[in-house]
Amino acid sequence: MALIVQKFGGTSVGSTDRIKNVAKRVARWKAQGHDIIVVPSAMSGETNRLIGLAKEISASPNPRELDVIASTGEQVTIALLAMAMHEEGLKAKSYTGPQVRVLTDSTHTKARILSIDDQRIRQDLAEGNVVVVAGFQGADEHGNITTLGRGGSDTSAVALAAALKADECQIYTDVDGVYTTDPRIVPEARKLDTITFEEMLEMASLGSKVLQIRSVEFAGKYKVKLRVLSSFQDEGEGTLITVEEDKQMEQPIISGIAFNRDEAKLTVLGVPDRPGIAYQILGPIAEANIDVDMIIQNVGHDGTTDFSFTVNRSDFSKALGVLDTVKAQIGAREIVGDNKNCKVSAVGVGMRSHPGVASQMFRALAEEGINIQMISTSEIKISVVIDEKYLELAVRVLHKTFGLDKEA
């Protein structure tokens, strides 16, 4: 007998029929003698609808109130799921995040989980209940409702698995595992049986939304056995996120291609080339709560240089506003911005032992006439910023170049 946390994403609970199917699946696991905690998302499209309502009232809704409304989507699915389980003859009880005391910090709309009280859940499990806990939400120390950022139910599930020392955390979604790239873009993408935490962290942080990055961080930190599976298939082992690198002789060099459509680039032209310039530009950007991704400072000439960086597209106009003020202070010539970029990345632990991956990647892009605007590398990834109109082409070409469409 094991303790298993099962998370069901928006499409998996997207209709009452699907909710009934989830209850049937849970009943099968329960019949095998396992203890089950279920963590659903809101029905697909519901969180967007709720945020949309808020935006009809205010262009920039108060974050505390936004959390109050955004968290209600999951409150609907926990109750429906518990009822569907009762119909299957199961004992089941639903709780919102604040009710089971998912304690978070107070950063509304992207709060971090600090602790979870396991008392009530343990007692319910001991009494034979399936415990259904709303994903995506918690409350801060003052009882204010918080949410964990988009896709945050993954993190709720893993955090619950960590708090209760569950044997496994299963993420049920609309694909049957983690693929070499998003199968919606490249139909030839292949499902991976395993992927290392390191690679999954990079893939998630570089845009693969199959798992929220914080759920992967949590799972790595607390050694949670994490698996991604399909909620529409009864068979299949999905993808296991592993700690150990696969000990295969022929380790693939690249495991996956990730992409992010939300990139925007800003360039400060003609900056006086002197110490402290990066700080003078990026200090005010950080103060405005804008996350910076890639940064490039060109080699100076004539005593001036150009300085470029990327931000999330939603922060583009805010960042332009900040730079306008900074421009006068540092005596820069011009600010230019472009919010029609995207980032494409190749990820793989095998890169460590194989030089030449970068040049292979750049050649493949050049052969398609795709201009690279920015590059950044780490030990296990190479990312390029390109024009968004080439996104799908670049992903397909790189997927092929690194042989990801063929059996490993």
Binding interface with Mg ion (CB under 5 A): 9, 151
Least gap, CB of 38 to ligand ASP (angstroms): 14
Cβ–Cβ contacts within 10 Å for residue 375, how many?
A: 14
Task: Enumerate the H helices of 230-308 as residue ranges.
Answer: 277-287
When asked if residue 153 is in the footprint of ligand ASP (CB under 6 A), the reply is yes
Least gap, CB of 370 to ligand ASP (angstroms): 31
Q: Binds 210, which of ligand ASP, ligand ADP, Mg ion, none (CB < 5 to 8 A, cut-off by type)? A: ligand ADP
Q: Binds 42, which of ligand ADP, ligand ASP, Mg ion, none (CB < 5 to 8 A, cut-off by type)? A: ligand ASP
Give the alpha-carbon dihedral of 66, 39, 205, 48, to 10 degrees: -40
Nearer to ligand ASP, 136 or 316 (CB): 136
When asked if residue 151 is in the footprint of ligand ASP (CB under 6 A), the reply is yes
Looking at residues 275 to 304 of the shown chain, list those that interact with ligand ASP (rule: CB under 6 A): none
Size of the site for ligand ASP (CB under 6 A): 13
When asked if residue 12 is in the footprint of ligand ASP (CB under 6 A), the reply is no
Matching residue, tokens 């996104």 = 391
Nearer to Mg ion, 138 or 151 (CB): 151
Residue 406 DSSP one-character state: S
Nearer to ligand ASP, 104 or 341 (CB): 104
Nearer to ligand ADP, 153 or 339 (CB): 153
Task: Enumerate the H helices of 1-45 as residue ranges.
Answer: 16-31
Query: For the chain, how many residues are written?
Result: 408
Q: Is 52:71 a contact under the CB 8 Å cutoff? A: no
Q: Binds 261, which of Mg ion, ligand ASP, ligand ADP, none (CB < 5 to 8 A, cut-off by type)? A: none
Q: Report how far residue 71's alpha carbon sits from residue 68's, in angstroms, rounded to the nearest whole number.
A: 6
Looking at residues 16 to 55 of the shown chain, list those that interact with ligand ADP (rule: CB under 6 A): 41
Q: Which of 256, 346, 370, 390 binds ligand ADP (CB under 6 A)?
A: 256
**Listed ranges 8-16, 122-130, 156-164, 309-317: which one lies at the site for ligand ADP (CB under 6 A):** 8-16
Instruction: Return the axis-axis angle of helices 46-57 and 63-70, rounded to nearest 10°.
Output: 140
Q: Which of 22, 42, 78, 391 binds ligand ASP (CB under 6 A)?
A: 42
Residue 313 DSSP one-character state: G
Beta-sheet strands, E only, within 109-148: 113-116, 129-133, 137-139, 145-147
Instruction: Number of helices (H) and strands (E) in the chain: give both, helices first.
Output: 12, 18
Q: Which of 14, 73, 177, 220 binds ligand ASP (CB under 6 A)?
A: 73
Radius of gyration over every alpha carbon of the chain, rounded to an integer in angstroms:
23
Task: Please list, in sequence order, all residues whose beta carbon lies within 8 angstroms of the beta carbon of residue 283, skipping any fewer than 6 positions away.
Answer: none
When asked if residue 80 is in the footprint of ligand ASP (CB under 6 A), the reply is no
Q: Report how far residue 98's alpha carbon sits from residue 139's, in angstroms, rounded to the nearest whole number.
A: 5
Q: Binds 73, which of Mg ion, ligand ADP, ligand ASP, none (CB < 5 to 8 A, cut-off by type)? A: ligand ASP
Least gap, CB of 77 to ligand ADP (angstroms): 12
Instruction: Return the axis-axis angle of helices 46-57 and 72-87, rounded to nearest 10°.
Output: 150
The two tokens of residue 239 are 């993808």
Looking at residues 132 to 151 of the shown chain, list those that interact with ligand ADP (rule: CB under 6 A): 151
Nearer to ligand ASP, 160 or 351 (CB): 160
Least gap, CB of 154 to ligand ASP (angstroms): 6
Cβ–Cβ contacts within 10 Å for residue 406, how many?
A: 9
When asked if residue 9 is in the footprint of ligand ADP (CB under 6 A), the reply is yes
Matching residue, tokens 């300085």 = 307
For CA atoms 286, 288, 292, 298, the dihedral sign is negative
Enumerate binding residues for ligand ASP (CB under 6 A). 9-10, 41-42, 47, 73, 135-136, 150-154
Enumerate binding residues for ligand ADP (CB under 6 A). 9-12, 41, 151, 173-175, 178-179, 181-182, 184, 208-210, 256
